[in-house]
Amino acid sequence: MKKKVAFYTLGCKLNFSETSTIARNLTDEGFVRVDFSEYADMYVINTCSVTDNADKRFKTIVKQAQKVNPDAFVAAIGCYAQLKPEDLAAVDGVDLVLGATEKFNIADYVNDLSKNDYGEVHSCEIEEADFYVGSYAIGDRTRAFLKVQDGCDYKCTYCTIPLARGISRSDSLQNVLKNAKEISEQDIKEIVLTGVNIGDYGKGEFGNKKHDHTFLDLVKALDTVEGIHRLRISSIEPNLLKNETIEFVADSNSFVPHFHIPLQSGSDEILKLMRRRYLTDLYVNRVNKIKEVMPHACIGVDVIVGFPGETEEHFLTTYNFLNELDISYLHVFTYSERDNTLAAEMEGVVPKKVRSKRSKMLRGLSVKKRRAFYEGQLGTTRTVLFESENKEGYIHGFTENYVKVKFPWDPSLSNTLQEVKLTEIAEDGLVRCTILESVRASV
Ligand code: SF4
């Protein structure tokens, strides 16, 4: 009887791409993948160290699995498993905890799925996680997450990712192109490039510390791959987003005019405490450059509120900075202390109540920004990649510049690219459209 395995993934696109690759490996080893809500012989939880209450979330997910099959073998992998292996091993029902170097070798640890009294830990010092393993995920059959880079050499004072994922290293350009081709042959219309610090692409490509290629080389090479309709850059550090890259995207065949650029604070004083590698003037310069060559581009911004030392004045500086900037939406993160980070030792701790008040204000600003961006797109002609789910009688999709669109449900539109005219903003904030014509495969 083939063994059944189910996966639960927390966190970022990178984690989803790795879960997908690990699942493919286990399927090659004879396992059958089932949904996490179904009966399985083994449940694998891919953890995240950024998620708030990561430990509570993890325990809840383990209980969920045990409810379906109390005798199931439970394995924990991912960033939290690398940072706190013993904590996870001590959770009732956990049988195996694999660190950053072992997660891709999970097949070697699951020949015998009988339960352990205590979670068996196979972890390592993060310095040993200096090699690269490629991966991609074809989640919802509409878009794929393609991992191109892993780890980070930056030292942002609030961040645990370098401790969980190790040094910055990249896939070989050749292997990225092979994966991209493989994905496009499965009728996937959009590829989202993912990693930890993808602007640092090329570093450690061949196991050394230097850049054999740059992010721009990667972008140029991917733009020539046959059969890929859309390429989306998931997130890129402002100091690594060069003018040449912005100009190339503006004229490219496949790269879409959508940039997600972490800012974290609109106050230079706080940026210095965060040890970010830029100040606000560089950020303004990036946004202006994008809008100069792609006025319709969508710009998303990550921002952290409640960082130690953030006064009301610093916060208002951030609020006004974002309010004046021509950006499209915000992802707002409430600062929370992380073990082994410099920020956790810093003075000027902001009370939790104040953190959530500031977070609420910025989320309100994000709604205002997104609406203004959408209003600016009404009447324009865009290309929508329709997804495949019937959502209360509508099919949803995103334009190239990340406007979320809805259209009366029509299954024949699933996973197709359509040229549309954006007409009005519906009560739920999505944009209605009229379909002009189907976009034939031209690439
Ligand atoms: S750039 Fe900074 S915030 Fe981003 S992963 Fe690296 S250390 Fe963390």
Mean pLDDT value across residues 29-47: 96
Distance of alpha carbon 17 from alpha carbon 180, whole angstroms: 13
Return the bridge partners of 74, or none.
43
Task: Report CA-CA distances (Å) from 124 to 98, 106, 128, 276.
Answer: 9, 15, 7, 28
| Mean model confidence pLDDT for the chain | 94
168 lines ligand 1 (CB under 6 A): no
Distance CA 360, CA 339 (A): 26
pLDDT, position 141: 64
Q: Which pLDDT belongs to residue 424?
A: 97
Flag whether pLDDT at 206 surpasses 90. Answer: no
The answer to whether domain 381-440 has CATH 3.40.50 is no
Contact 317, 323 (CB under 8 A): no
Answer yes or no: are the C-beta atoms of 181 and 52 closer than 8 Å: no
Residue 2: pLDDT band (50, 70, 90) is confident
pLDDT in tens, 377-418: 999 999 999 999 999 999 999 999 999 999 999 999 999 999
231 close to ligand 1 (CB < 6 Angstrom): no
Own/partner contacts of 107-116, CB < 8 Å, gap of 24 or more, are 107/25, 107/26, 107/29, 109/75, 110/26, 110/42, 110/73, 110/75, 113/3, 113/41, 113/42, 113/72, 113/73, 114/73, 115/71, 115/73
Q: May I ask the CATH architecture of the domain 4-124?
A: 3-Layer(aba) Sandwich (3.40)
Report whether pLDDT(266) > 80. yes
**164 in contact with ligand 1, CB cutoff 6 A:** no
Best residue among 159, 270, 274 to mutate for probing ligand 1's pocket (most ligand atoms within 8 Å of CB) is 159
Q: What are 358-387's pLDDT values in tens digits?
A: 999 999 999 999 999 999 999 999 999 999
Cα distance between residue 383 and residue 191, in whole Å: 16
Weakest-pLDDT range from 8-17, 48-57, 197-206, 341-350? 48-57
The CATH number assigned to the domain with range 258-376 reads 3.30.750.200
- Res 441: pLDDT: 46
Measured CA to CA, the distance from residue 310 to residue 292 in angstroms comes to: 32
- How far apart (Å, rounded) are the C-alpha atoms in residues 168 and 440? 39
Dihedral sign (CA 315, 158, 135, 199)? positive
CATH 3.40.50.2300, the chain: domain bounds: 4-124
Q: Where in the chain is the domain with CATH 3.30.750.210?
A: 125-256
Rounded to an integer, the average pLDDT of 268-272 is 98
Mean pLDDT of 13-41: 95
Q: Which atom of ligand 1 is nearest to the CA of 276?
A: 2
The finding on whether 159 has its CB within 6 A of some atom of ligand 1 is yes
**Span 146-151, average pLDDT:** 97
User: Which atom in ligand 1 lies closest to the alpha carbon of residue 160?
Assistant: 8
Contact by Cβ (8 Å): 382, 400: yes
- Integer Cα distance of 188 and 138 in angstroms: 8
**C-alpha–C-alpha distance, residues 328 and 301, integer Å:** 8
Q: How do residues 105-141 score in pLDDT, each as one tens digit?
A: 999 999 999 998 889 999 999 999 999 999 999 866 6
For the Cβ of 77 lying below 6 angstroms from any atom of ligand 1, the answer is no
Please state whether the predicted TM-score (pTM) of the whole model is above 0.85. yes
Is residue 197 within 6 Å of ligand 1 at its C-beta?
Answer: yes
CA of 276 to the centre of ligand 1 (A): 9
CA distance 100 to 126: 7
- From CA 315, how far away is CA 313, in angstroms rounded? 5
**Of 73, 74, 68, 82, nearest in space to 39 by CA:** 68
Question: CA-CA distance, 305 to 303, in Å (whole number)?
Answer: 7
* Whether the predicted pLDDT of 55 surpasses 50: yes
- Decide whether any atom of ligand 1 lies within 6 Å of the 196 Cβ: yes
Residues of the chain with CATH 3.30.750.200: 258-376
Mean pLDDT of 33-38: 96
Does the pLDDT value for residue 442 go beyond 50? no
Q: What is the pLDDT of residue 53?
A: 74
Q: What is the pLDDT of residue 51?
A: 63
CA of 28 to the centre of ligand 1 (A): 34
Q: Which of 196, 75, 225 minimizes the C-alpha distance to 135?
A: 196
> What digits encode the pLDDT tens for the residues 152-164?
999 999 999 999 9
Ligand 1, atom 1: nearest CA belongs to which residue?
154
Class of domain 125-256: alpha beta
Is the beta carbon of 385 within 6 A of some atom in ligand 1? no
